[in-house]
Structures are given as C-alpha cells and as structure tokens.
Amino acid sequence: MAGVTDPVGVGFVTSLARPGGNITGLTHLSPDLSGKRLELLKEVVPRLLRVAVLWNPNHPGQPVAFKETQVAAQALKVTLISMEARNREEIERVLSGVGKERPKHSSSFRTL
C-alpha cells in the first residue's frame, strides 16, 4: 500500500502495531495534526472566533481528523463550522454559502 490515510479504518490491516499478513507500506495517518493546525492558526490570529473546515466525511481518514479538530476547537473556545462535501458539486454548493457566513473577525474564516 502507498499513501493510505487510515489502513486500519479501511480494513487493510488489523492494527498498525501488528498488521498481520504480508503487507508493507506507508501511512500518513496524523489526525492529531488537525488539532495542532487549529492551535497554530489561533496563535497567528489570537482573536479567532470561528473557523470553517471543508472536509469529506466519506474519505476514510477525515472523520478522525475532523473529530480531533473539534476537540481542539472546544479547548481553544473557537466555533467550528463543518463544511461537508463529497464531490465537486457539493464543494461548489458549500463554498457558495461561505459568503453568507459573517466572520466575527476579518481573519477568522479559514478553510483547513
């Protein structure tokens, strides 16, 4: 396998510690970085109040990463706006609605 976000979640292996079978590969599973990205954004924009996250809930690794972002948002007292999109049409629909949301700080509306 190459570049699999969550090999356990998609069922390729039983665990990262003991994958079982004959499989070799790399993963870029790093859901904890999602929360860290939000922390860094908050450091850069201390008055940050709201953040929009564009994500695909059908992508194997993204629900875990979004959950980590939610945890970080709660700790940082930042309102997280979930912008789910599974295909191009949904991305266009979701992004067309961004202008309707009024950020509470000029730098507070970001897509992670």
Express each pLDDT in 79-108 by its tens digit. 999 999 999 999 999 988 876 665 554 444
Specify the pTM.
Answer: 0.66
6, part of any domain? no
Greatest mean pLDDT among 4-13, 50-59, 60-69: 50-59
Q: In this structure, is residue 69 part of a structural domain?
A: yes
In-domain check, residue 20: no
Q: How many domains does the chain fold into? A: 1
pLDDT of residue 78: 95
Q: 47 lies in a domain?
A: yes
Quick: pLDDT tens for 16-51. Answer: 777 777 777 666 667 678 888 899 999 999 999 999
Tokens coding 56? 């695909």
Q: What angle do CA 86, 55, 95 make, to 5 degrees?
A: 80
Range of the domain at 67: 31-100
- Note whether residue 112 is domain-resident: no
